[in-house]
Structure 1
Amino acid sequence: MQTKNDKNNQPLPLQGIRVIDYSHFLAGPYMGRCLAALGAEVIKVERPTAGDAGRAHAFMVDGQSGYFLQQNMGKKGLCINLKDPRGLALMHKLTDSADVFLENYRPGALDKLGLGYKALAERNPGLVYCSVSAYGHTGPDARRAGFGLIAEAKSGIMAMVGTPGEPPPLLRIALGDMYTGIHGVAAICAALFGRVRSGQGQHIDMALYDCLVSMHEYAVQSYTLSGGAELPVQTGHDLPQSTLYGVFTATDGYVVIAAQVDDAWKRLALRIGTDLGQPGLEDDSRFHSLAGRNTHRLELLQPVRAWVASRSVADCLAALDAIDVPAAKVQNIDEVLADPQIQARGMLIEQDHPVLGKVRLPNLPFHFSAYNTTVLQAAPLMGQHNRSIAQSLGYGADDIAQLERDGVLYAEAAVATAEA
């Protein structure tokens, strides 16, 4: 577990960049988390009194959401009433000082507040404004509501997973949000680089639906290049176009085997044939090419399934490692967190939280030779940095106190306890 900075050779690449994160739940907050890890000052802006809807999302401990903690670490917290003209004025001062603005409201929603791209770009021409929505800001579905689940269903991804004849399963990870989030990070960094040359910011329009459709590495091209003859569908536990590549049942769990490459298959076939008393399996010419293995897939799968079913997961992996055939156990989360590889890669962070004490959360997969992007600063309490942010915009102590008394600036009760 990585708990301290051990790479201080250079300033983080986005140091000096100010990001206003006016987003909620996942895709936008994940972008902000990544930008904070890369060195940006990210200010999380929330509305009184509930804040980001992610704050109410499981898993909850002592009124704090692990969901929120994970996606908002490393940020400063500002909670402000934008319906009050004074709150909106403060927000405009903040956006005037910003390099990046993140939002994931339905297209057009922020125009009513004077926080749409056109209004903010007139005030701050260098602003990189990134919008995230289900369908994007153009097209017939632009103003329809949507979530990651909707995009997964419409994208064709859901139709390809699960057992034939049964309803597709839920993926249990927010694929659309996370994939869109990291694409947003790439686009923002590119826009900031472009601004160095042009001096101009721009509007980045990210859609969950677009991102998931772009993720198809096989389905779209197989359909278009076959003239519509190849329509990827549910296949269950293996890939018929990439035999042998799938999930198999051992005596005490599940194993995935990736022996789709000719040489790997031959090594596997020799081992299986020897163990099952079926010598010559590796010499069967029907299985010597990927096309042949795909054509005779069911005949090939039978001995493999029998071999795996006769032994434990550990025995399978030992045998497969010995012949250099890629394989792994299907691990549960407790096994993942205990995995020495994950620990060696610093993929768990330990942070000090003002309410919860020590918390452990997933790290980002950034590994630079000269940067340490592990964020040790916990996600902010709601309104935790109201005063310091307002002060940075030129507000005096009396002005800030009045805004607090009038509810324009709001902070949850735990903030006072943390500051005591």
Structure 2
Amino acid sequence: MLSAGLARTSEGRRGSRLRAAPAAARPTAARPVVAASPDEDRRPLAGLRVLDLTRMLAGPTTGLLLADMGAEVIKIEEPQIGDPTRRNVPHLGGESTYYMAVNRGKLGITLDLKSPEGRAALLDLVAKSDIIVENFRAGVMDRLGLGFDVLREVRKDIVLCSISGFGASGPLRDKTSFDLVNQAMAGTMSVTGEVGRPPARIGVPAGDLCGGYFGCLAILAALRARRKTGRGAHIDLSLHDCLISLLGYLGQAYFTTGESLGPVGSGHHHIVPYGAFDASDGTLVIAAFSQNFWERFAGAIGRPDLLSDARFETLERRKTNREPLMAILRPILSSGTRDYWIATLGEHDVPCATIASVGEALESDQAVARGLVFEVAHSSLGALKALATPLRADGAPWLSALPPPMLGEHTRQVLAGLLGYSEEDIARHLSIQKRPKVGRGADASLATGRTS
């Protein structure tokens, strides 16, 4: 587990390995700024460094996953402004809980990438890094003078992951996008919600989250390829692509039948009974996914006769006769409590559950046993509960305990300790960052990449 203590700066450490080398002789090997214990070095990405230029949710999720797998992640934010999610409510002690949710495990610095000094500092960091993640609008990195061709001149094997709403090609390349827009355009909203009611957004920002996970997956593949070829890669990841790829069997059904399936509420297009049912005191879900589970379910509810009813004998017939079957099941299930049905169905090994609230899920015995909630030591808030990613191996989680950084919290330490900048250099950077922001209206999209 990474410690919260940064390595000492190169000042007073003549010959320190963290002192910056002359530009022509900059090392390409990444060295961690944060002290790590031998145990933490066992995580798969220990020793790699990531520059996280992302904002909002998708890109920061990629950075969080890489941090939990052991990489040192340096989040680089715009001076004075920071990640837009820092202003999202609710707040705790002035810090946004939305921001903190996906920026744990990172060091936080500020650089003005529109200034020559800020761009030069970023390139100095690139020389000592392995991975860059960004989610600016397509073309912004090139306009800043930080396109992939420039980056690989500094480090030939750099892996750049660019995340945007619609990717770097196609007619929608420059379209403004947030998760809701992508859910609408990728078909997922058309199959979400109740029959006869307006389409619904998936309750969590699915496009952003799966984009974050796909970004991490693509980076891992690029790192594997780099080991064989010695070359880096530029990953072009579209959140729209990510969501369309999740259509899965719905897409294959369309290719086969030409039919676009619609919403079925909590149910399944092809499986019955499968969905939410009302008990006498609330709702539970039942998933009789296969013929075997259907037979167990019929026995559990005291209706084995349903197994010999020709309308319900097979999966296909139950699908065709969905409503007649539901008309039989609803009054049976509403006659008992949730606890009764959970116990009874459980005895027959029928998959079922009550519907947990967010709080109930986080505080459940299963979540506690799996270590999904833990504490980090925040520099201003003290002990802070955090949600772990599901990454674990050999009986232990892959987890970074670094707290989410405050805006620019580690700027001085990184510039001095990693790049070997003098106090005069650092003071100049900080002075530039304090300049009033002028004409931000035209460039507001640079901060977010217009993805949520």
Specify the alignment match of 1:64 in structure 2: 95
Distance across 1 between alignment mates of 2:245 and 2:424: 52
Give deviations 1:58-100, integer Å, cap 9, x for gaps: 2212210111111111111111222322122111111222111
Indicate yes or no: 2:230 matched with 1:199. Answer: yes
Specify the alignment match of 2:288 in structure 1: 259
The one-letter code of the counterpart of 1:340 is D
Q: Which of 283-292 and 202-211 deviates more? A: 283-292
- Say if 1:135 and 1:209, in contact at 8 Å, map to a contact too: yes
Indicate yes or no: 2:233 matched with 1:243. Answer: no
Specify the alignment match of 2:321 in structure 1: 296
Q: Residue 361 of structure 2: which of 328, 332, 336 is its match?
A: 336
Specify the alignment match of 1:348 in structure 2: 373
Give deviations 1:197-230, integer Å, cap 9, x for gaps: 111101001101101111112111111112x1x3
Specify the alignment match of 1:367 in structure 2: 392
Distance across 2 between alignment mates of 1:347 and 1:358: 16
- Say if 2:40 and 2:70, in contact at 8 Å, map to a contact too: no
Indicate yes or no: 2:213 matched with 1:190. Answer: no
Specify the alignment match of 2:427 in structure 1: 401
The one-letter code of the counterpart of 1:79 is T
Specify the alignment match of 1:164 in structure 2: 195
Displacement of 1:369 in angstroms is 0.6
Displacement of 1:121 in angstroms is 1.9
The one-letter code of the counterpart of 2:335 is S
- Say if 1:87 and 1:408, in contact at 8 Å, map to a contact too: no
TM-score normalized by structure 2? Answer: 0.85
Q: For residues 406 and 137 of structure 1, do their structure 2 counterparts lie closer, same or farther at Cα, with a shift above 3 Å needed?
A: closer
Distance across 2 between alignment mates of 1:38 and 1:313: 40
- Say if 1:87 and 1:409, in contact at 8 Å, map to a contact too: no
Specify the alignment match of 2:444 in structure 1: none
Specify the alignment match of 1:153 in structure 2: 184
Where structure 2 has 5 or more consecutive residues not aligned to the other structure, the ranges are 1-35, 437-452
Provide the secondary structure at the position in 2 that maps to 1:384: coil
Provide the secondary structure at the position in 2 that maps to 1:378: coil
Report the count of equivalent residues.
Answer: 401
Displacement of 1:317 in angstroms is 0.5
Specify the alignment match of 2:148 in structure 1: 117
Distance across 1 between alignment mates of 2:179 and 2:262: 21
Specify the alignment match of 2:440 in structure 1: none
Q: Which of 309-318 and 164-173 deviates more? A: 164-173
Displacement of 1:374 in angstroms is 2.1
Give deviations 1:90-121, integer Å, cap 9, x for gaps: 11111222111110011001211112222212
CA RMSD of superposed structures (Å) = 2.1
Q: For residues 128 and 240 of structure 1, do their structure 2 counterparts lie closer, same or farther at Cα, with a shift above 3 Å needed?
A: closer
Q: For residues 335 and 199 of structure 1, do their structure 2 counterparts lie closer, same or farther at Cα, with a shift above 3 Å needed?
A: same
Displacement of 1:10 in angstroms is 5.7
Q: For residues 122 and 406 of structure 1, do their structure 2 counterparts lie closer, same or farther at Cα, with a shift above 3 Å needed?
A: closer
Distance across 2 between alignment mates of 1:123 and 1:409: 28
Displacement of 1:402 in angstroms is 3.5
Q: For residues 94 and 322 of structure 1, do their structure 2 counterparts lie closer, same or farther at Cα, with a shift above 3 Å needed?
A: same
- Say if 1:80 and 1:408, in contact at 8 Å, map to a contact too: no
Displacement of 1:266 in angstroms is 1.4
Where structure 1 has 5 or more consecutive residues not aligned to the other structure, the ranges are 411-420
Specify the alignment match of 1:74 in structure 2: 105
Displacement of 1:17 in angstroms is 0.8
Displacement of 1:125 in angstroms is 1.5
Distance across 2 between alignment mates of 1:279 and 1:181: 46
Q: For residues 141 and 8 of structure 1, do their structure 2 counterparts lie closer, same or farther at Cα, with a shift above 3 Å needed?
A: same
- Say if 2:41 and 2:70, in contact at 8 Å, map to a contact too: no
Q: Which of 283-292 and 157-166 deviates more? A: 283-292
Displacement of 1:11 in angstroms is 1.8
TM-score normalized by structure 1? Answer: 0.91
Distance across 2 between alignment mates of 1:114 and 1:98: 18
